[in-house]
């Protein structure tokens, strides 16, 4: 009973075979993985690095991502920390393209918007 109810969306319905549903958390994980692949992205929501994802699992990746799906149209909002020295405009543009392509290719849903909030800049510590 304490289990939280997830939003799910039908991405395929076939009267002969049944239907395929996807949880919004899965869409968020796809978005997070795509964003983390872009050079210049330090982390999601201020704390998710590739090492942390390996240790804590994929669920952590969806924390900096909000997904809204209305009639098969997806709006994604990501909160990112970028690496110092990279162009915010260039990195954000690449993230938007990569997230849109990943979600559309994997789910068949249409992505209308990929909104990015830069929550911080990761400055490397000098030795």
- Summarised one tens digit per residue, pLDDT across range 89-117 is 999 999 999 999 999 999 999 999 999 99
Contact indicator for 80, 119 with CB cutoff of 8 Å: yes
Domain assignment present for residue 20? The answer is no
Per-residue model confidence (pLDDT) at position 25: 86
Q: Residue 63 belongs to what domain range?
A: 25-120
Pairing, β 73-83 against β 110-122: parallel
Q: DSSP strand E in the chain: where?
A: 8-14, 18-23, 41-44, 65-70, 73-83, 110-122
Domain assignment present for residue 113? The answer is yes
Entry pTM: 0.81
Domain assignment present for residue 14? The answer is no
Domain assignment present for residue 91? The answer is yes
Domain of 101: which CATH number?
3.30.70.1350
Report which of residues 72 and 91 the model is more confident about. 91
Domain assignment present for residue 6? The answer is no
Domain count of the fold of the chain: 1
pLDDT of 32 strictly over 60: yes
């Amino acid at each position: 009973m304490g289990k939280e109810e997830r939003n799910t969306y039908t991405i395929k319905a076939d009267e002969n075979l049944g239907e395929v549903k996807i949880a919004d958390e899965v869409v968020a994980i796809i978005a997070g993985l795509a964003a983390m692949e872009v050079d210049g992205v330090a982390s999601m929501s201020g704390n998710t690095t590739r090492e942390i994802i390996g240790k804590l699992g994929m669920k952590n990746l969806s924390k900096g991502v909000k997904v809204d799906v209305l009639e098969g149209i997806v709006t994604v909002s990501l909160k990112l920390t970028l690496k110092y020295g990279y162009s915010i405009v260039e990195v954000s543009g690449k993230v938007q393209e990569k997230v849109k392509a990943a979600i559309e290719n994997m789910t068949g849903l249409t992505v209308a918007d990929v909104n990015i909030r830069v929550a911080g800049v990761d400055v490397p510590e000098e030795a």
